[in-house]
Amino acid sequence: MKLILATAVFLTLLACSQPPPVPEGPAVELWGIWEETFTAAEAQPAETELMVRLRAPSGAERDAEGFWDGGSNWRARFMPSEEGVWQYDARWETPAGSEPGGSGSFVCVRAESTKNPLLLRGPVSVPDGGRYFEHADGTPFFWLADTVWTASRRNSPAPSS
């Protein structure tokens, strides 16, 4: 009896479970650059703006302004700050009103390795309090720099005798 009950529970759980979601769109690294090209169907007036609204996996929305890239091509760039599937909707803003410009999605994944170590921890900013720098993930950022004190002597011509 226990074996039949255990088998029934197992089959019920198996039938009710959903497969993991399949990632949609191209992959972009966390804190990397997402770039999309939008093509205008017709010539746009000079006052046209391309606005792209991006929805994070958490539901937060961010806007990115596009730019004209010659001819009928426009581009938008954005730095995703959350892992998961992002969705976007573009719209053309003209003096006459707003028109849809396309939509889509992309997947943001954590970088396994990168040539730029700053991309592993996120952009540098000044947190509340304003006394130090930190990365987006909360890791402290130590700014190490040096000054070339002898540059002024080396850039001037040698005195003539």
Domains of the chain: 21-112 (2.60.40.10), 115-145 (no CATH)
Q: What is the pLDDT of residues 120-142, one digit of tens each?
A: 888 889 998 888 899 888 889 88
State residue 7 phi and psi, 5-degree precision.
Answer: -65, -40
DSSP 109-150: E--S--S-GGGGT--EE--TTSSSEEETTS-EE-------TT
* Side-chain half-sphere exposure of 104, counting CA atoms within 13 A: 14
End-to-end CA distance of the chain: 109
CA 135 – CA 141 distance, rounded (Å):
6
Q: For residue 54, what pLDDT is reported? A: 97
Q: For residue 20, what pLDDT is reported? A: 45
CA 155 – CA 137 distance, rounded (Å):
42
Q: Which of 66, 64, 61 is nearest to 49 (CA)?
A: 66
CA distances (Å), origin 137, targets 119, 120, 147, 152: 11, 9, 29, 40
Q: What is the pLDDT of residues 54-109, one digit of tens each?
A: 999 999 999 999 999 988 899 999 999 999 999 999 999 988 888 888 999 999 99
